[in-house]
Amino acid sequence: VPLYQLQMIGTAVFAVTGVLAVNRRGLDVFGAGVLGIVTALGGGTLRDVVLGVPVFWLHDVNYLWMAIAAAAVAFFADRRVRSTYTLLLYLDGLGAALFGVQATEKVLGLQHGATVAVAMGILTSIGGGLVRDVLAGRPTLLMSRDIYATPILIGCTGFVLARLFTSHHTWLVVAVVALMFSIRASAIHWHVSMPGWLTSDQDPVP
Amino acid sequence: VPLYQLQMIGTAVFAVTGVLAVNRRGLDVFGAGVLGIVTALGGGTLRDVVLGVPVFWLHDVNYLWMAIAAAAVAFFADRRVRSTYTLLLYLDGLGAALFGVQATEKVLGLQHGATVAVAMGILTSIGGGLVRDVLAGRPTLLMSRDIYATPILIGCTGFVLARLFTSHHTWLVVAVVALMFSIRASAIHWHVSMPGWLTSDQDPVP
Amino acid sequence: VPLYQLQMIGTAVFAVTGVLAVNRRGLDVFGAGVLGIVTALGGGTLRDVVLGVPVFWLHDVNYLWMAIAAAAVAFFADRRVRSTYTLLLYLDGLGAALFGVQATEKVLGLQHGATVAVAMGILTSIGGGLVRDVLAGRPTLLMSRDIYATPILIGCTGFVLARLFTSHHTWLVVAVVALMFSIRASAIHWHVSMPGWLTSDQDPVP
């Protein structure tokens, strides 16, 4: 199934970007490795724990090894990998989109409703990065105005709605992932952040 | 059952205070929404995950929608809501008391002992706020001298003890919640914090 | 079984060092107690939740009471306990080694593979300290160059490998714990941290 290979690629990309995000802080290979693995597997782990289903990497250890290998490469080949950072940023957006749609579909298949499915799609996409940032003492993406999670929300919501009207499943997944990735890629390319009316004031109210 | 309505009100209050707590930091509607939802549902989610029982909002999506709606109102009507902040602080204390007693009772009903029940009551009451503060990079209430969790500890302990001596269940819940709320409300009103002998020194030992 | 007593001692030591690590920050007895309990029980709780098995202290409340009692002693007898801090640092290393091997063995017994077993050994050893540091707003050990988790990784890996070649189970556990403790104790005694080639640069790449 190509989906499986895509998920492996997503896992590797998340592990690499996870290591690069923290690797300028004098931490050692163990800390960097754990943070890379957490970035790659953390979101899906949180999803499965909340759903009460077996955690996905317990019974397919390829995910764990892929995350370990990718984190090690990112640590030891830091400068070389970092020179491809812009490419990785786009791949990260693609990985987040894939993880989100795949999780939404998995949760719908477990007979949960659309709201729970979308919530779990978002948790799967951003959960690993949130845990990494908390463990690394960095501000989480929730505190920024980056357009990172919004395309996931839009795409997962669109996916559950469109499923009501179409049975062309593969094409729907492709279209939704393309939509999510386009929004994210546009935000990266044109440095767009959330508009002011969707952002709280930073100043105290007089 | 009025208990259900009370829980919905508690969920809404926690979501609103969760958003207000972080909404002066330039974050966007998505981040504020997630932090509000986490505040409202996080404690009960942690409780159910640790207990190994189905997470409560998976099968009653009203909790999730109530948290989403309340967080959105708090975000967009920030100044108006904030003017009722003192009222919300008291409501938050009431919500924490309700969540604590309800969780203690749920855990006793699952045939766990009194110690586990009290621990889970506290986790349910304060867990959501802890996760929110960690995700928002704020000091958690564990690092303060606020009298916030102590009334929960007293009330939940009192509840499991009093159950041994009385079968007037409804009145017991009312009395315990009133006790917890009185302590918290007094601490808010008179700005009481933990006494010195229950607080560690801030200075290094000479 | 002496293993049970050893685990109780490990629980107490983790609770004490957990309280001492945060007890110079003006927090109150409730916050210190929660952080001590989290340090002692958090790692095993995370392990059991990820594995989807009943959380260990739900059905043996001695763990919870031991953690509560040890945390209370550490809070109220802070100066006296702190004078034994060096001793506690070594005991903490011993506790981490015991927790790691015991968790690895538990996971192998659940028919998981070696990779998952080692990962869970590490999670059990360091998880409680990570959660404590996150809740207390301290840098986690992942961001340091301390040789704390590396002996756990070496020992747990050695344990799963050696099990393939020997059936002298008790002696194997003793040997592995001794190995892990020796590495950790050497690092404490000679102030060794991770060598430069296993540590990322702190300076930005030019």
Taking the Cβ of residue B82 and every Cβ of chain A, the question of whether any pair is shorter than 8 Å is answered with yes
In this structure, how many other beta carbons lie within 10 angstroms of the beta carbon of residue A25?
A: 18
pLDDT band at C203 (very low <50, low <70, confident <90, very high): low
pLDDT at C182: 96
Cα B113 to Cα C5: distance, rounded to the nearest angstrom: 22
pLDDT in tens, B28-80: 999 999 999 999 999 999 999 999 999 999 999 999 999 999 999 999 988 88
pLDDT at B202: 59
pLDDT band at B206 (very low <50, low <70, confident <90, very high): very low
Q: What residues in A contact B65, CB-CB < 8 Å?
A: 115
Cα B129 to Cα B39: distance, rounded to the nearest angstrom: 5
What distance in Å separates residue A125's CA from the closest CA in chain B? 13
pLDDT at B67: 97
What distance in Å separates residue A4's CA from the closest CA in chain C? 20
pLDDT at C164: 86
pLDDT at A96: 94
Per the CB < 8 A criterion, the answer to whether A156 and A177 are in contact is no
CA of A28: how far to CAs of A23, B85, C31, C147, in Å?
9, 45, 31, 10
Quick one: closest CA in B to A200, which residue? B26
Chains in contact with chain A (at least 3 beta-carbon pairs closer than 8 A): B, C
Provide the phi-psi class of B52: left if phi over 0, else alpha when psi is between -120 and 50, else beta.
left
Cα C52 to Cα A89: distance, rounded to the nearest angstrom: 34
Continuous segment of H or E residues that includes residue A5: helix A2-22
Quick one: closest CA in A to B78, which residue? A200
pLDDT at C1: 47
Task: Check CB contact under 8 Å for B64 and A205.
Answer: no
Q: Which two tokens stand for residue B49?
A: 């995950």
Per the CB < 8 A criterion, the answer to whether C88 and C171 are in contact is no
For the segment C150-176, the average pLDDT, to the nearest whole number, is: 91
For the segment B98-114, the average pLDDT, to the nearest whole number, is: 94
Per the CB < 8 A criterion, the answer to whether A28 and C145 are in contact is yes
**pTM reported for the whole predicted model:** 0.94
Per the CB < 8 A criterion, the answer to whether C15 and C88 are in contact is no
Q: Which two tokens stand for residue A58?
A: 């317990």
pLDDT at A188: 93
Please give the mean pLDDT across all residues of chain C: 91
Per the CB < 8 A criterion, the answer to whether A47 and A54 are in contact is no
Cα B129 to Cα A163: distance, rounded to the nearest angstrom: 36
Provide the β-strand partners of residue B28: A199
> Which parts of chain A have pLDDT scores under 50?
1, 204-206
Q: Which of C24, C26, C78 sits opposite B145 (nearest CB)?
A: C26
pLDDT at B155: 96
Q: Quote the DSSP letter at residue A113.
A: -
3-state secondary structure of A117: helix
Task: Check CB contact under 8 Å for C143 and A24.
Answer: no
| Residue scoring higher pLDDT (A145 or C36) | C36
Task: Check CB contact under 8 Å for C27 and B144.
Answer: yes
Instruction: For chain C, give the percent of residues with pLDDT over 90.
Output: 71
Quick one: closest CA in C to B205, which residue? C79
pLDDT at A167: 77
pLDDT at B198: 85
Residue among B188, B172, B181 at smallest CA distance from B154: B181
pLDDT at B205: 45
Reduced 3-state DSSP string for B72-105: HHHHHCHHHHHCCHHHHHHHHHHHHHHHHHHHHH
For the segment C58-64, the average pLDDT, to the nearest whole number, is: 95
Q: What residues in C contact A28, CB-CB < 8 Å?
A: 144-145, 193-194, 198-200
pLDDT at C205: 45
The yes-or-no verdict on residue C41 having pLDDT over 80 is yes
Cβ contacts of residue C69 below 8 Å, gap of 6+? C12
Cβ contacts of residue A90 below 8 Å, gap of 6+? A181, A185, A188
pLDDT at A144: 87
Q: Which two tokens stand for residue A50?
A: 């909340």
pLDDT in tens, B119-162: 999 999 999 999 999 999 999 999 988 899 999 999 999 999 99
ipTM higher than threshold 0.90: yes
Q: Which two tokens stand for residue C177?
A: 């714990």
pLDDT in tens, C127-156: 999 999 999 999 999 998 889 999 999 999
Cβ contacts of residue A177 below 8 Å, gap of 6+? A94, A97, A98, A101, A155
Q: Which of A49, A143, A200 sits opposite B49 (nearest CB)?
A: A49
Taking the Cβ of residue A139 and every Cβ of chain B, the question of whether any pair is shorter than 8 Å is answered with yes
Radius of gyration of chain A (CA): 17
Taking the Cβ of residue A198 and every Cβ of chain C, the question of whether any pair is shorter than 8 Å is answered with no
Buried b (16+ CB within 10 A) or exposed e, B175-184: bbbebbbebb
| Residue scoring higher pLDDT (A26 or C110) | C110
